[in-house]
């Protein structure tokens, strides 16, 4: 059988050519929109590493200042009602508290790694505090 040239068909299956073109355009627009709406999926652990790098890069405080101030004031209200704080005092307290907490979490992470785990648990925090010589805390 020999090959023959095919000619364009005059009929489009009952759909007018303009209507067909609009239908095709609408479907491609929908596909593009769906492609835009898709959220980028990261491999497991990549976002955690990205977050670690972000926090290690900056030097700003992690706890919001106003919340820390409220906490300090509520604790000191139990001791004495008429205490006032300078802004520098509250900032120094917050920096010291965050440095202490960061150190405890570093030690906690080392305890978890020592136990061949990646996830920290309350018993890791208890062990880290016990090694540091801090009194018993209940979790």
Q: pLDDT tens digit string along 23-66?
A: 777 777 666 766 666 778 888 889 989 998 999 899 999 999 99
pTM, rounded to two decimals: 0.66
In 3-13, which positions are buried (b, 16+ CB within 10 angstroms) versus exposed (e)?
Answer: eeeeeeeeeee
What domains can you pick out in the chain, each with its CATH number?
Answer: 46-132 (1.10.20.10)
Task: Assess contact for 82 and 116: CB atoms under 8 A.
Answer: no
The overall average pLDDT reported for the chain is 86
pLDDT per residue as tens digits for the range 119-132: 999 999 999 999 99
Task: Assess contact for 120 and 109: CB atoms under 8 A.
Answer: yes
- Higher local confidence (pLDDT), 82 or 32: 82
In this structure, the dihedral spanned by the alpha carbons of residues 101, 104, 110 and 113, taken in order and rounded to 10 degrees, is -70
pLDDT range class, residue 5, cuts 50, 70, 90: confident
Rounded Cα–Cα distance for residues 92 and 60 (Å) = 13
């Amino acid at each position: 059988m020999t090959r023959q040239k095919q000619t364009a068909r005059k009929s489009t299956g009952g759909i007018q050519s303009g209507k067909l073109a609009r239908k095709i355009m609408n479907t491609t627009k929908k596909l593009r929109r769906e492609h835009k709406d898709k959220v980028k999926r990261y491999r497991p652990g990549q976002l955690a590493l990205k977050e670690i790098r972000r926090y290690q890069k900056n030097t700003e405080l992690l706890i919001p200042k106003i919340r820390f101030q409220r906490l300090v004031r509520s604790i000191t209200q139990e001791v004495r009602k008429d205490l006032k704080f300078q802004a520098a005092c509250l900032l120094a307290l917050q920096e010291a508290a965050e440095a202490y907490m960061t150190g405890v979490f570093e030690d906690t992470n080392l305890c978890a790694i020592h136990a061949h785990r990646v996830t920290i648990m309350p018993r890791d925090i208890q062990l880290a505090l016990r090694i540091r010589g801090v009194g018993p805390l209940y979790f």
